[in-house]
Structure 1
Amino acid sequence: MSPASHLRTVEAMNLVDWVTDLMHTAGAPGAALAIALENLFPPLPSEVFLPLAGFTAAQGKMSLLDAVLWTTFGSVAGALLLYWVGARLGRERVRRIAARMPLVRVSDVDRTEAWFLRNGYRAVFFGRMIPVFRSLISIPAGVERMRLAPFVAYTAAGSLLWNTALILAGYLLGDNWHLVEQYVGLGSKVVLGLAVVAVAVFVATRLSKKRADVPS
């Protein structure tokens, strides 16, 4: 194992130990805090926290229902904070930022905005079940000032499904709860890989068009 891999393993173990202590000490509200932090800092892995909450429930440290309800509350709380960040950022500021960015056009923002206006509620609901993007989807919702009540409802519904599935997996697997992270973590890597490919294709296409527009 390389030094970098060893360091990541140690950091992951420390994180799991911290969350374990938090859940044992504070019970279900501790699980809610962990998930709220995961929403605010996407690199923190819900695929670790949620199965661990299920395992903790299986040990009798909290009820299974409390684990589901409190983690869903934490998901909504974290999403609301990111919604507020998007609302503070605002549509016009996003457009000004886009105008200053290389290879990005304001028309790109307009197309994204049009897509979100057509699919916003579906995007929020299904986005809560997509690794990596499950937190970030709250920001464009805030930028577009999506109505708060539907935003909370769709966020809660999507989070409830995601949280319940991973908590139940951890509950049923018992000491093998960590297997959930291996499979869901693979999904996260696939999503990230697709995102990287999409960005690379966008940059290559935009550079190609820019070169074509330059008079010879």
Structure 2
Amino acid sequence: MTTVLIADDQALVRAGFREIVGSAADLAVVGEAATGAEAVQLARGLRPDVVVMDIRMPEMDGLEATRRITGSPATADVRVLILTTFDLDEYVFAALRGGASGFLLKDTPSADLLTAIRTVAAGDALLAPGVTRRLIAEFAARPSRAASPAGLPAAITGREREVLTLVAEGLSNAEIGERLHITTGTAKTHVSRLMLKLAARDRVQLVILAYRAGLAG
């Protein structure tokens, strides 16, 4: 059972998400937070698998809450799924730096919300082609974050470089396997090794590293 904490300052939004998540047999809402500070406190006490986190909340916003949750050893395994909109790019860049594993639009369909929660809970990252990848590309290319392309460690093999490039394109393990004519399991192994070698938390960070290394863009 995947446990979920919902953090949003609007009671109606929380109720809607609770109903949607509750409709899935494999998901369960274990708590609700109306502020970022409350989200941090509940994350520490409940240790949910995923926090569905709004950005604009009183006392402490979702960005700071995300940083505190992902940056604390006590909640390092808790994944954060940020709620965002197209016109909040700056917030998304900050969320990436803060350790968020995925992004959703406020008006996302119910089925997509459930899929996103499962994806993030599985240790993957939600890379919606029309939203997240565009934002990551812009974030990674910013001079303030990386003045010039950063090289990859010598330990990265040629095949792993190919896989990293395809991860940056937003391809799933199955799609990577099909493209490279390898099994899905082998593709997953390559991705896992890349995360280990590059000290990446998830696929979001792999994409950022790929852009910084000049493998995508």
User: What range describes the TM-score normalised by the shorter chain of this pair?
Assistant: under 0.3
**Structure showing the higher helix proportion among its residues:** 1
**Structure showing the higher strand proportion among its residues:** 2
Higher relative contact order (CA 8 A, sep 6+): 1
Give the number of the structure whose alpha-carbon radius of gyration is greater: 1
* TM-score when normalising by structure 2: 0.26
